[in-house]
Structure 1
Amino acid sequence: MTKKQFAPLAILSIGALLAACGNNAENAENNGNNNPENNNEASEQTDELTIGVTPWTSTIPPTYIAKNIFEDMGYDVELIEADVSTIFIGLADDDIDVYMDSWMPVHENYYEEYNDDITNIATSYPSADSGLAVPEYMDDVETIEDLKGMEDEFDNSLYGIEEGASVMDELRDLIDEYELDMELVASSEGGMISQAQRNMANEDPVVFYGWRPHSMFNELDIKLLDDPDEFFDEASVHVMIDNDIEQTAPDAFAFLENWSIDIDDVEEMIVQIEDDADEADVAAEWIEENQERVDDMRGE
């Protein structure tokens, strides 16, 4: 889940979304949601859809695939860039229709808070692994326990991402849990990857935090270590929707209900986008190469 700069595509700001959420709530109160006529209007079909977009590379491929397909269905699609908590608020308040990159169990608390108004409609991919990564050439290191006693070969360093990320606290707990004589070295994601590349260029030992989907597994010959204490929960990635779209956009709902994608495909698309390919073009290519599968998801 890494950050991505978005091209200007009519993406709303977080502030605009929060203002919209507040205005909608106020309007609903003033207009009286208990009026049957208002309820009927709310269920009328729409020609517009909004997709929430978190600033992670993993969000981009499925978002643009959905955007292309919705546009092919005839919808005007708007992307709303926001942090994940704001996206869940937007889903619950009918300001966002779809979010394509909800990580479970990490986002479970948001889902539990708003599950009366949103639906976990599909699993994009069921296994998004994370953990400690080492180069494949380290044949004698297959589990986290194997690091014990050889920490000096790694300069007693475990490389992580930026301070403030929740995973950094988890990595510190992991060092304690496995009683490793290592220091957690904070860096940016790019700095961590660069350090791994420098060590690997000389086939030196290195251990760092890794997760999928990410381009590191396409660009580096690495492996995730087995985790005997099951310190890292295996994540799955899901699609969240505003409950109303089953009535307001039934063809989009039917597509999302059948949606899935291979994690390898997501990683390949991330690599292309990081190499400056256009997001919409990369999504269109995936759709063309998987047209039969897409047709099945659309019920055609």
Structure 2
Amino acid sequence: MLTHTPKSTAMRYSVLALAAGLGLAAGSAQAQEDKGTVELAYVEWSSEVASTNVVRAVLEQQGYDVEINSLSASAMWQAIAHGDADAMVAAWLPTTHEDYMEQTQDSVEDLGPNFEGTKLGLVVSADSELESIEDINDHADELNGEIIGIDPGAGLMSQTETVIEEYGLDVDLRSGSGATMTSALGTAIENDEPIVVTGWTPHWKFSRWDLKYLDDPKNVYGDAERIHTVVRTGLEEDMPEAYAILDNFHWTPEQMGEVMLMNQEEDADPYENAQKWVEDNQDVVEEWLAD
């Protein structure tokens, strides 16, 4: 027996079939965009907060889920070496993180510098009477017998301990964090009080205040360094596109400075600022996506 399907019913079936097809297509497209999760480790330095969030924004733009984890310098290197994190764009070489690189070199891959023009040393207000590290002992009492440092796991701190020993300084190195260091620096400048802090370039404090590095005639802090991208062994095989983006990532002091200054605004969100910078600088981002 032949049956006749009313035209309205047939149309309804067609619409449902089309919707189902579109749903499958959308699901397929979504699956194509889901490229997996990239885990980025970093140290809580203003430069590395800027770099890591920018890389996060670029990778997410390309369809990756990205998780970022703030760690001490030692833990950051160990996370990459053990495969607990995929990459970092925060390796200061060849001096600051030299020991960490030696300990993990068989388990990590160095993709080379993503930033050039760094500097490490002791920093004072530009109008300070101190000109050289050798002058510190003459002003130890005014400095409360202290150099203000950052987190104790940072390579800069161990280098500063060496500086104190090499120069025979009669001061202690006070550990804390990057935030406590800049807070102490700002308070001292506001009150016109002498202070010596551990410092590095790039850092937003050089844009906010008029500062200078103390001369290091013994060159204990070494020459200018570069910030490298380091990834776990096997990332290229597991996530070749993410690996290529990380390998291509490179920016200038001016570009990093833009993001760092944005991050110092009241209630600033480093991730949102990174997203905005990426949107406004697609010509730069396209170079990182070249491969």
Q: When the two structures are superposed, what TM-score results if normalisation uses the length of structure 1? A: 0.70
What is the aligned counterpart of 1:76 among 44, 65, 70? Answer: 65
Deviations 1:172-203 (A, max 9, x none): 542443345x4236263455444433443354
1:159 paired residue number: 147
Does the C-alpha gap of structure 1 residues 149 and 73 become closer, same or farther in structure 2, counting only changes over 3 Å?
closer
Structure 1: 5+ residue stretches without partners: 1-45
1:284 paired residue number: 275
Aligned residue pairs: how many? 252
2:172 paired residue number: 184
Which 4+ residue blocks in structure 1 deviate beyond 6 angstroms?
none
Deviation at 1:238? 1.0
Does the C-alpha gap of structure 1 residues 255 and 148 become closer, same or farther in structure 2, counting only changes over 3 Å?
closer
CA distance in 2, matches of 1:271, 1:176: 35
Deviations 1:253-294 (A, max 9, x none): 222222112234434423433432222221122223332121
Question: What SS does structure 2 have at the residue aligned with 1:134?
Answer: strand
What is the aligned counterpart of 1:47 among 11, 31, 35? Answer: 35
Matched, 1:296 2:287: yes
Written as runs of structure 1 = structure 2, the 5 A alignment for 1:1-300 is: 47-57=35-45, 58-104=47-93, 105-138=95-128, 141-145=130-134, 147=135, 150-151=138-139, 154-155=142-143, 157-161=145-149, 164-165=152-153, 167-168=156-157, 170-180=159-169, 182-184=170-172, 186=174, 188-189=176-177, 190-233=179-222, 234-274=224-264, 275-299=266-290
Between 1:96-105 and 1:195-204, the stretch displaced more is: 195-204
Q: When the two structures are superposed, what TM-score results if normalisation uses the length of structure 2? A: 0.71
Deviation at 1:247? 2.9
Deviations 1:35-82 (A, max 9, x none): xxxxxxxxxxx8213223234133322212111111222222233444
Aligned-pair identity in percent equals: 25
CA distance in 1, matches of 2:56, 2:151: 33
Letter of the aligned partner of 2:286 in structure 1? D
Given that 1:215 and 1:268 are in contact with CA atoms closer than 8 Å, whether structure 2 keeps it comes out as: no
Letter of the aligned partner of 2:55 in structure 1? A
2:6 paired residue number: none
Question: What SS does structure 2 have at the residue aligned with 1:124?
Answer: strand
1:7 paired residue number: none
Given that 2:152 and 2:175 are in contact with CA atoms closer than 8 Å, whether structure 1 keeps it comes out as: no
Letter of the aligned partner of 2:205 in structure 1? M
Given that 1:135 and 1:223 are in contact with CA atoms closer than 8 Å, whether structure 2 keeps it comes out as: yes
Letter of the aligned partner of 1:101 in structure 2? A
Bigger Cα Rg: 2
Deviation at 1:299? 0.8
Deviation at 1:156? 6.2
Deviation at 1:227? 1.0
Deviation at 1:230? 0.4
Given that 2:112 and 2:229 are in contact with CA atoms closer than 8 Å, whether structure 1 keeps it comes out as: yes
Question: What SS does structure 2 have at the residue aligned with 1:292?
Answer: helix
Between 1:163-172 and 1:191-200, the stretch displaced more is: 163-172
CA distance in 1, matches of 2:85, 2:217: 40
Does the C-alpha gap of structure 1 residues 48 and 151 become closer, same or farther in structure 2, counting only changes over 3 Å?
same
Deviation at 1:224? 1.0
Letter of the aligned partner of 1:253 in structure 2? Y
Pairwise CA RMSD: 3.1
CA distance in 2, matches of 1:122, 1:265: 19
Structure 2: 5+ residue stretches without partners: 1-33
